């Protein structure tokens, strides 16, 4: 029997949460792409369930690059790209796939309700049980793989953040639609996918700012790009003077990322290693 949907999970030091995620997916075909975890993530994936295929990357490729490689191993029509900290049940998943089956071919993804805000498109005619949107968070997306591949997948220049916004922008330009299934809920326990650490926060903040600037430049959002540069170079130092230590550190990292971006630093170095701010 042809498998219609594969669940793809990207992990990195997710041992504290991946067992619970996999235990809810016993009836599904699951592919885990692990980004060079140093904890017990890989061991859990190998031992937990027989329906889990594990791809072990020796380096941390980031979210989009890892998803691209994982999707190359998928032969199903759809792939549910899922963070390990998203809750899921099979009835909700079946309902999501059933709605995808009713659509025509000109769509890229359906986003379930993960608790994140989406921007709806105000049109008179919507699909049954679905709303047209401009973009959605990448923590849970049911992706039409044929159209995903036609778009070239996620931008390989991005390590973290803005991958789904960039993909959605390219999809709109190609005449593809994105949908939101508000009544199908996959709760997202945000920022729980990776075990927390101070170094991780620094890395996340640097790449969030870098990816934001990259996205705005790529899509010629010049006013927003200039505004972001001005705010981070000239406004945030003033705010930093009275900010809490945590917020002050965030301002500092984002300012560093802005300067790095202006001087041409990329998210990956020449050895395809992600930039880690010191």
Write the pLDDT tens digit of every residue in 146-163. 999 999 999 999 999 999
| Full-model pTM | 0.93
211 plus 106 within the same structural domain:
no
Domain with residue 144: its CATH number is 3.90.550.10
Residue with the two structure tokens 């792939």: 79
Domain count, the chain: 2
Of 185, 210, 243, the residue at which a domain comes to its end is 185
Spatial separation of the C-alpha atoms in residues 109 and 102, rounded to whole Å: 13
Q: How confident is the model at residue 189 (pLDDT cuts 50, 70, 90)?
A: confident
Whether 134 and 178 have beta carbons less than 8 Å apart is answered as yes
Q: Indicate whether 55 pLDDT > 80.
A: yes
Least confident of 25-29, 114-118, 167-171, 272-276: 25-29
Whether 3 and 71 have beta carbons less than 8 Å apart is answered as no
Name which of 76, 86, 100, 104 is nearest 14 in CA terms: 86
107 plus 167 within the same structural domain:
yes
154 plus 17 within the same structural domain:
yes
Write the pLDDT tens digit of every residue in 203-224. 999 999 999 999 999 999 999 9
Asked if residue 86 belongs to a domain, the reply is yes
Spatial separation of the C-alpha atoms in residues 172 and 178, rounded to whole Å: 8
181 plus 252 within the same structural domain:
no
Name which of 79, 88, 86 is nearest 5 in CA terms: 79
Write the pLDDT tens digit of every residue in 20-52. 888 888 888 999 999 999 999 999 998 877 788
Asked if residue 211 belongs to a domain, the reply is yes
Question: What pLDDT is recorded for position 194?
Answer: 61
Range of the structural domain that residue 111 is part of: 5-185
Q: How confident is the model at residue 196 (pLDDT cuts 50, 70, 90)?
A: low
13 plus 104 within the same structural domain:
yes
Asked if residue 271 belongs to a domain, the reply is no
Question: Average pLDDT of 164-172?
Answer: 97
Q: Which long-range contacts (CB under 8 A, 24 or more apart) does 31-36 make?
A: 31/6, 31/7, 31/55, 31/70, 31/73, 31/74, 32/8, 33/8, 33/9, 33/57, 33/66, 33/67, 33/69, 33/70, 35/10, 35/11, 35/59, 35/60, 35/61, 35/62, 35/66, 36/12, 36/60
């Amino acid at each position: 029997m042809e498998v219609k949907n594969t669940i793809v999970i990207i992990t990195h030091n997710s041992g504290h949460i991946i067992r619970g995620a996999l235990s809810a997916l016993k009836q599904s075909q699951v592919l885990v792409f692990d980004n060079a975890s140093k904890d017990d993530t890989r061991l859990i994936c190998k031992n937990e369930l027989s329906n889990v295929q594990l791809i072990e990357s020796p380096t941390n490729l980031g979210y989009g690059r890892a998803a691209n490689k994982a999707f190359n191993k998928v032969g199903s029509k759809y792939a549910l790209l899922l963070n390990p900290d998203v809750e899921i049940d099979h009835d909700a998943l079946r309902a999501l796939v059933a709605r995808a089956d009713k659509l025509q071919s000109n769509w890229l993804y359906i986003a379930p309700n993960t608790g994140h805000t989406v921007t709806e498109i105000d049109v008179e005619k919507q699909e049954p049980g679905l709303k047209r949107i401009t973009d959605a968070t990448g923590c849970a997306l049911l992706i039409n793989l044929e159209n995903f591949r036609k778009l070239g997948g996620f931008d390989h220049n991005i390590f973290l953040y803005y991958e789904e916004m960039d993909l959605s922008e390219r999809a709109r330009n190609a005449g593809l639609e994105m949908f939101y299934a508000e009544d199908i809920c996959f709760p997202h326990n945000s920022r729980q996918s990776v075990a927390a650490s101070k170094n991780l926060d620094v890395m996340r903040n640097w790449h969030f700012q870098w990816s934001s600037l990259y996205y705005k430049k790529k899509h010629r959002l010049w006013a927003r790009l200039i505004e972001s540069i001005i705010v981070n170079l000239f406004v945030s130092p003033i705010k930093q003077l009275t900010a809490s230590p945590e917020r002050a550190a965030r301002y500092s990292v984002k300012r560093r990322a802005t300067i790095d971006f202006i001087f041409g630093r990329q998210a990956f170095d020449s050895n395809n290693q992600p930039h880690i701010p010191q």
